[in-house]
């Protein structure tokens, strides 16, 4: 772009910001964008450095990370409305207002991780119906609900790790296309039955590094397409009978680093197709070996040494065994009773 073209873009941006009530507006070039912030680090305007070049690009990414942005104006994104991805991580956003992304109706990827977000207004995503991936990790969010998700009819991936989200029944209702949900490290102590209602296409569910102590037997009812489930590094003491029924698609299950003391008959009912089971770091004392009888292809970590011999095929081991853990990554040492 020639000098006169750049001058016209800058002039247009400055004219849009001329009514700024906070004082001066600082415009700078960052990641091929003109970024205009006012004295309070509110994003006043955003524009492409080279408008000609972006007209030939199908997937346009906006990178405005680590700029200490605290807020945006209603027209901040009007000049970049054809963007498909917005990276806005590592700023200082506290509130996601309902008008923030109204101009970005082609957005498919939104990264808001590592801000100071405590609240998302209802309807904040109503105009971004094409959004497929949303990252909310590393914020201070405690409340989410169906009214927040309005408009997200295409969302497939939701990452909300490292927050303090309180789970409730129907909290994710409306996200019918959701396939990946990451809720690790949220200080979760309780998961009410119905939390995962109306999520028929869930494929990956991550709940590790929380403070969960118990699981209701109907908790995962309806998640018939689930492929991976991570419940590791919690405080779970037992696996209720029937918890995994109707989960024939489950391929990998992490329940390691919990406080499980026994595995009773029926606790793995429905997991005939399981390939990987991670059990290390529990407090196993008693195991009914019949639980592995129908799991013909499963690989179990860390495994079981029964009466001095490492059991390679647990499907043929019968009866009860008493065990003790010799180390978080070492096989459980057990003897038949």
CA distance 35 to 76: 9
Look up residue 298 and give its DSSP letter. -
Tokens of 131: 């959004």
CB-CB neighbours of 309 under 10 Å = 8
pLDDT for the residue numbered 251 = 98
Residue 69 and residue 42: Cα distance in Å, rounded? 6
Measured between alpha carbons, how far is 311 from 317 in angstroms, rounded to an integer? Answer: 8
Flag residues of the chain having pLDDT under 50.
Answer: 1-22
Task: Tell me which residue has tokens 């970024």.
Answer: 35
pLDDT for position 247: 96
Structural tokens at position 261 = 């003391």
pTM of this structure: 0.91
Provide the pLDDT for residue 55: 64
The bridge status of strand 157-159 relative to strand 133-135 is parallel
């Amino acid at each position: 772009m020639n000098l006169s073209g750049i001058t016209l873009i800058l002039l247009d941006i400055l004219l849009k910001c001329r009514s700024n009530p906070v004082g001066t507006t600082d415009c700078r070039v960052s990641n091929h964008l003109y970024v205009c912030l006012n004295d309070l680090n509110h994003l006043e305007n955003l524009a492409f450095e080279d408008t000609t070049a972006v007209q030939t690009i199908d997937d346009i990414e906006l990178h405005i990370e680590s700029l200490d942005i605290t807020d945006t104006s209603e027209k901040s994104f009007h000049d970049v409305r054809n963007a498909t991805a917005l990276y806005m991580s590592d700023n200082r956003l506290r509130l996601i207002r309902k008008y923030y992304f109204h101009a970005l109706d082609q957005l498919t990827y939104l990264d808001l991780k590592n801000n100071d977000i405590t609240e998302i207004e209802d309807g904040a995503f109503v105009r971004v119906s094409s959004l497929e991936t949303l990252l909310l990790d590393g914020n201070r969010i405690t409340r989410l609900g169906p009214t927040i998700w309005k408009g997200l009819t295409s969302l497939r991936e939701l990452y909300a790790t490292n927050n303090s989200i309180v789970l409730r029944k129907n909290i994710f209702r409306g996200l019918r296309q959701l396939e990946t949900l990451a809720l690790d490290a949220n200080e979760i102590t309780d998961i009410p039955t119905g939390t995962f209602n109306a999520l028929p296409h869930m494929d990956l569910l991550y709940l590790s590094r929380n403070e969960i102590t118990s699981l209701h037997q109907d908790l995962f009812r309806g998640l018939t397409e689930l492929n991976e489930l991570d419940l590791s590094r919690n405080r779970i003491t037992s696996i209720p009978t029937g918890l995994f029924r109707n989960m024939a698609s489950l391929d990998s299950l992490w329940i390691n680093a919990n406080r499980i003391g026994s595995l009773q008959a029926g606790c793995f009912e429905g997991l005939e197709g399981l390939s990987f089971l991670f059990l290390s770091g529990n407090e196993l004392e008693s195991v009914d070996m019949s639980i592995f009888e129908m799991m013909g292809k499963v690989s179990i970590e860390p495994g079981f040494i029964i009466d001095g011999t490492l059991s390679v095929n647990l499907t043929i081991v019968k009866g009860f065994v008493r065990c003790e853990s010799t180390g978080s990554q070492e096989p459980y040492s057990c003897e038949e009773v």
